[in-house]
Amino acid sequence: MRSFLLFVILFFGFQKNVLAQNSFGSLHSNYAPSNSLYLNPSNMLDAKVWLDVNIVGAGTYINNDLVYLKNRKIFNVFRDEVSIEEDDIYYNQSRNNYHAYNRTFASLPSVVWSQGDHALGLSFGVRSYTGLRRVPDFVTNFIENGVPDYTQQHDIDYSVKNLKLASITFGEAKLSYAYTFLKKRKNMFMGGISVSKFFTIAGGASNVYEFNFNVDNDSVIDVEILNADAMFTPEPIFHGKGGLGFDLGFTFQRMIRSADYYYPNSSRYGCRKNNYKYKIGVSIIDIGSVKFDQGDYLFAGYNFDDFNWLNYTETDVNEDNPLDLFEEQEADITQGTVKRKEKIRLPTFISAQFDYNLWDSRVYINGTVIQGINTSKRRFGLRHANSLSVTPRFESYWFDFALPFSMYEYQHPQLGASMRLGPLTIGTDKLINWIFRSDVYGADIYVYLKVPLHYHPKCRDKAKINKRGWKDRSPTRCTY
């Protein structure tokens, strides 16, 4: 009867926090503005490359705190191509509530141009989020042991309240612009904005406001009350009516020398480079929703009580529309608490960043806080996970290396690593699970292929002269 529980989880749902995979190791590099704009669009300014061309990138992040593989290395699982059997899966019974989450992305050809007081980015990609959160402990026992035969949990009153589920897959075209609006002495103030056009592919969500029930025995479930809304797209679709999204960001940089006449990556005033001592940024990311056409999704709204679900083990779930399971209990299941049934809100978050130049504009340390914003009761949506990360890194034209340490929900530690060698970047936020035997609750990996153009064409000759030993000591010489 585990199929029944899977349906309860998928339909009555529980929403996750989507930390997803923030790629902390590659987010902060001054040589990868096409990555850092996803944390703060003003990060494109004063990049150490004039033009950052992203050819392709991909990654996925999966995690949960309920099921795990015991004493495994992820590397060995993939290398040996060993199939995972039911006996290999263990259950964590130490919590009251559980969650799971996944983010998968593909970045398509994109470009970021940074010159002087302006920066411009155009990026394309596909993103997918799935959220599962606050699964109560009694459900985990039912998943592991089944419903009708697990008599220890029969004849007990259970209650589930205010839980959410959301899953979205969409294409994205993002246009970004940033501007340095004030330079005074050693201070630079910058702002940026991104506008995204979404192309819907698939989605589904549910809000469970209240679900009280009692499993009488192996054939009867007493439903005291069920108040829930749900929607999903039965078939994949692709169209351009997918809605809009916005990012906003601001950055303050304290420079090593006066910034009054500093124009990054520009021949203006001699192509000079002026590095920052530290910078502080704030941003709000993924404001908006993914939207579906009326004919592309199915919806069900339930609000009934005192129902005896007889012979629940023999209930046939409609594969074309599993949401109509209790249709006979409602006068009109097209009505519910959610008012904008066609929209799923993005995992909006606010962030603060601090980046410090430790040594020779090559060794930095970054601290970033991410705080997810909850969706309202009357909306479908995802909530981004809270996180705190500290990332020391080394960066140069042809080589970057970072060791991000992050705290998911401010309490679950993760150690990652990221390396860029020329145009290729590879990294993970969960390095320990890859190389050491441990209890594996999740895994992630990301890869990028880029072609960075370091110099403005008019600065290239001066950079070559400088490398051959040109000794001009003027304050405007090109010092790359």
Residue-by-residue DSSP string for 93-113: -S-SEEEEEEEEEEE-SEEEE
Q: How much is the pLDDT for 457?
A: 84
Answer yes or no: is pLDDT of 471 > 50: no
Measured between alpha carbons, how far apart are the two ends of the chain, in Å? 66
pLDDT of the residue at 97? 80
Across the range 296-305, mean pLDDT stands at 95
Q: Is the pLDDT of residue 12 over 50?
A: no
pLDDT(423) > 80:
yes
Exposure of 131 in the CB half-sphere (CA atoms within 13 A): 31
The larger pLDDT score, comparing residue 393 to residue 5, is at: 393
Statement: residue 468 has pLDDT above 60: no
- Across 327-337, b (16+ Cβ under 10 Å) vs e yields eebbeebeebe
pLDDT band at 369; cut points 50, 70, 90: very high
Residue owning tokens 């910034």: 259
Is pLDDT at 438 greater than 90 in this prediction? no
Q: Between these two residues, 296 and 139, which has the higher pLDDT value?
A: 296
Residue 25's φ and ψ, nearest 5 degrees, are -65, -25
Confidence band for 78, pLDDT divided at 50, 70 and 90: low
The CA-based angle 338-349-393, given to 5 degrees, is: 155
Q: How confident is the model at residue 80 (pLDDT cuts 50, 70, 90)?
A: low
Share of the chain above pLDDT 90, in %: 58
Q: What is the pLDDT of residue 172?
A: 97
Tell me: the pLDDT tens digits for 219-254?
999 999 999 999 999 999 888 889 999 999 999 999
Residue 320 has pLDDT above 70, yes or no: yes
Does 270 or 160 have the greater pLDDT score?
A: 160
Phi-psi region of 55 (alpha: psi -120 to 50; beta: other; left: phi over 0): alpha
Is the pLDDT reported for residue 28 higher than 50?
Answer: yes
Question: What sections of 2-157 are H helices per DSSP?
Answer: 2-7, 24-27, 33-36, 74-80, 137-145
Residues 6+ apart with CB under 8 A from 435: 73, 75
Residue 480 is assigned to a structural domain of this protein = no
Q: Which residues contact 94 (CB under 8 A, 6 or more apart)?
A: none
In a domain, 109, yes or no: yes
| DSSP letters spanning 301-336 | EEEEEEEEEETGGGPPP-SS-GGGTTGGG-S-TT--
Average of per-residue pLDDT across 379-391: 91
Average pLDDT score, the chain: 86
Domain region containing 59:
2-467
- Average the pLDDT over 61-75 and give the result: 81
State the pairing for strand pair 244-255/276-291: antiparallel
Other beta carbons within 10 angstroms of residue 124's beta carbon come to 16
| Residues 205 and 295 sit within 8 Å (Cβ to Cβ) | no
pLDDT value of residue 465: 46
Mean pLDDT to the nearest integer, 36-58 = 95
What's this model's pTM, rounded to 2 decimal places?
0.87
Instruction: Tell me the H-state helices in 81-165.
Output: 137-145
Structural domain includes residue 88: yes
The predicted model gives 307-320 an average pLDDT of 89
- 22 pLDDT band, cuts 50/70/90, is low
In a domain, 35, yes or no: yes
Q: What is the pLDDT of residue 16?
A: 35
**pLDDT in the model for residue 157:** 94
Average pLDDT of span 187-195:
98
Q: How many domains does the chain have?
A: 1
Is residue 12 in a domain? yes
pLDDT score of 77? 65
Identify the pLDDT of residue 330.
Answer: 92
The dihedral region occupied by 12, where left means phi > 0, alpha psi between -120 and 50, and beta the remainder, is: alpha
Position 109 pLDDT exceeds 80: yes
Instruction: Assess whether pLDDT exceeds 70 at residue 7.
Output: no
CB 289 within 8 A of CB 345: yes
Q: For residue 220, with 0-12 CB atoms within 10 Å meaning exposed, 13-18 middle and 19 or more buried, which class applies? A: middle
Average pLDDT over residues 69-91: 72
Report which of residues 99 and 226 the model is more confident about: 226
Residue 221 lies in a domain: yes
Q: What is the mean predicted confidence (pLDDT) over 75-81? A: 63
Judged against a pLDDT cut of 60, whether residue 168 lies above it is answered with: yes
Instruction: Say which CATH number the domain at 210 has.
Output: 2.40.160
**The predicted structure's pLDDT at residue 463:** 57
Q: What is the rounded average pLDDT of the residues 132-147?
A: 81
pLDDT of residue 256: 95
Q: Which pLDDT tens digit goes with each residue over 278-299? A: 999 999 999 999 999 988 999 9
The reply to whether 70 falls in a domain is: yes
Res. 21: pLDDT tops 60? no
Of 3 and 66, the structure prediction assigns the larger pLDDT to: 66
In a domain, 473, yes or no: no
